[in-house]
Amino acid sequence: MGTERITIFDTTLRDGEQSPGCSMNLDEKLQMARQLEALGVDVIEAGFPVASEGDFAAVQAIARECRKPVIAGLCRAIPKDIERAWEALREAARPRIHTFLATSDIHLAHKLQKTRAEALVMIREGVGLAKSLCPDVEFSAEDATRSDWDYLVEVFTVAIEAGATVLNVPDTVGYTVPDEYGRLIAHLKAKVPGIDGVTISVHCHNDLGLAVANSLAAIAAGARQVECTVNGIGERAGNAALEEVVMALSVRRDAMPFTTGVNQEAIYRTSQTLANITGIEVQPNKAIVGRNAFAHESGIHQHGMLSHRSTYEIMTPESVGVRQTHLVLGKHSGRHALAKRFEELGYPLGRTELDKAYKLFTKLSDQKKEIFDEDLLAIVRDGLTHIPETFKLRALQATAGTSMFATALVTLASDGGEATETAMGDGPVNAVFAAVDKLTGLKGRLLDFRIHAITGGADAVGEVFVQVEFDGVTQGGKGASTDIVEASVRAYLNATNKVLFARRASVPAAAETR
């Protein structure tokens, strides 16, 4: 049986980024886009250019840098959105305008206040305008699964006539079920004139936990593009998880004869890259990329695994790039060993980066006997970012207890020299943040604070993620240390420095609060 190729359309940077806590700044989006390119996705939906200056800049930067995949930018089917999307995409090697309009009666009446006939005119004009700018045009009928099927036939007929090359049938609210969705795709395939000359795409949300199952049912019925996100992040319960769709197709090729261009061994690293950027950890039992996805706890299972892996393993951890955590380096390892290990982990470092990484490594090995891969990855993530450190942490003291206010003393260095401030707070973290605010002159409002241990044991490195709002701009920051108060202040300073850098460079800082 021949195998057909499924196009993997990644929308982590658009639909995924819209979910709470997942906003990324320009550097972070670029880092993620590079990783998606290395993963081998066919299409990267890089953002919604009209939504904010930050989205526009990110789509433009990704279009300039990532030359292999198609780069898509989302826009409503209205001229100003479409023109803005094209402006951001025009330098891409392979640009795609992705335009959409809602087609369900619920959305037409309550959101757009349009009749079905008016919507058809908007679709014809919108897709036509997009086509006059860009040869590759995708049209999405938002809330397709709650739209009238015969009206959808009209909608997609108009979209093809106006020049659409990809037709997307989104399950916007995660409402459909596999059998029904498959029948809808088959109905469109049978009824829309010219549909065989375009690609049918699916885009499923996970409100009922069916996003991946629905996507696979749609493929069986004739869809050839799947829209999905890394770790399944996205609006509400998220989108179909890329890694699950790809691995289901790979492991069950006997039942579903399709291939993708995804480099499976890069799946785990991509998942980790996203989790590290956003600070949204993957749930431990998440399929494919969760910490426990390949853990065998019960005695019976362990016994089976020891006899033969296939007793309880349908794919190997190595096939998705999961390696066993192992001790890699110690205090006496040299620069050469460090460079080699970074290279094996997928981070070939230049001389300056290696110098910096080595310094951080020796500092860490004074605090911690054993250094694991995860520690090295934390060094790359937190120590080698290119945000200039306007303020650097020089010293920190914090005291706390059950019968006293927490107090903190923080010394920061900047171009103006060193300065020290003290502050009090409900707890030590609160107190150090207040002292930092006094020193930087910025007033941050902490929106989110998360901490996790990178490796096990009492001397584990703790990694802290914060989201802080400075004057209406939300900025994420992260920091790592074996001391959690220090990790917290580093994360807070990282967010502060990012905001200051963005202000100076007058680039859109980050996620502006939408």
Binding residues: 15, 203, 205, 239
Letters for 98-137 (x = contact with ligand KIV by CB under 6 A, - = none) are --x-------------------------------------
Reduced to 3 states (helix: H, G, I; strand: E, B; else coil), residue 303 is helix
As a whole number of angstroms, the distance between CA 295 and CA 276 comes to 22
As a whole number of angstroms, the distance between CA 99 and CA 83 comes to 11
Site for ligand KIV in 81-100 (CB under 6 A): 100
Contact segment (CB under 6 A) with ligand KIV among 35-43, 165-173, 441-449, 459-467 equals 165-173
Q: Is position 154 an interface residue for ligand KIV (rule: CB under 6 A)?
A: no
Ranked by CB distance to Zn ion, the top (closest) residue is: 15
- How far apart are CB 161 and ligand KIV at their closest, in Å? 21
- How far apart are CB 48 and ligand KIV at their closest, in Å? 9
**Four-residue CA torsion sign, 504, 508, 70, 5:** positive
- How far apart are CB 89 and ligand KIV at their closest, in Å? 16
Residues 6+ apart with CB under 8 A from 167: 138, 139, 141, 156, 159, 160, 188, 192, 195, 198, 199, 200, 201
Binding-site residue ranges for Mn(2+): 15, 203, 205, 239
Label residue 349 exposed, middle or buried (CB < 10 Å: 0-12, 13-18, 19+): middle
Two tokens, residue 41: 């996705």
- How far apart are CB 366 and ligand KIV at their closest, in Å? 49
Q: Is position 496 an interface residue for ligand KIV (rule: CB under 6 A)?
A: no
User: Does residue 2 contact residue 488 with C-beta atoms inside 8 Å?
Assistant: no
Q: Locate all alpha helices (DSSP H) within 145-290, ordered by sequence.
A: 149-162, 178-191, 211-221, 242-251, 267-278
- How far apart are CB 235 and ligand KIV at their closest, in Å? 7
Q: Is position 172 an interface residue for ligand KIV (rule: CB under 6 A)?
A: yes
As a whole number of angstroms, the distance between CA 56 and CA 73 comes to 9
Q: Which is nearer to Zn ion, 24 or 461 (CB)?
A: 24
- How far apart are CB 372 and ligand KIV at their closest, in Å? 38
- How far apart are CB 102 and ligand KIV at their closest, in Å? 8
Helix or strand (DSSP H, E) at 452: strand 444-453
As a whole number of angstroms, the distance between CA 449 and CA 433 comes to 12
Secondary structure E strands in 454-495: 462-470, 473-481
Letters for 48-87 (x = contact with ligand KIV by CB under 6 A, - = none) are ----------------------------------------
As a whole number of angstroms, the distance between CA 180 and CA 193 comes to 21
Q: Locate all alpha helices (DSSP H) within 49-148, ordered by sequence.
A: 53-65, 79-89, 105-107, 116-133
Q: Which is nearer to ligand KIV, 31 or 168 (CB)?
A: 168
Q: How many residues bind ligand KIV, per CB under 6 A?
A: 9
Contact segment (CB under 6 A) with ligand KIV among 166-174, 369-377, 420-428, 448-456 equals 166-174
Q: Is position 294 an interface residue for ligand KIV (rule: CB under 6 A)?
A: no
- How far apart are CB 117 and ligand KIV at their closest, in Å? 22
Q: How many residues bind Zn ion, per CB under 5 A?
A: 1
Label residue 416 exposed, middle or buried (CB < 10 Å: 0-12, 13-18, 19+): exposed
**Cα-Cα end-to-end distance for the chain:** 49
Contact segment (CB under 6 A) with ligand KIV among 89-97, 167-175, 180-188, 455-463 equals 167-175
Q: Is position 140 an interface residue for ligand KIV (rule: CB under 6 A)?
A: yes
Q: Which is nearer to Zn ion, 145 or 494 (CB)?
A: 145
Q: Is position 35 an interface residue for ligand KIV (rule: CB under 6 A)?
A: no
Letters for 8-47 (x = contact with Zn ion by CB under 5 A, - = none) are -------x--------------------------------
Q: What is the largest CA-CA distance in the chain?
A: 76
Q: 47: alpha, beta or left, given left = phi > 0 and alpha = psi -120 to 50?
A: left
Residues forming the site for ligand KIV (CB under 6 A): 15, 100, 140, 142, 168, 170, 172, 203, 205
Residues forming the site for Zn ion (CB under 5 A): 15
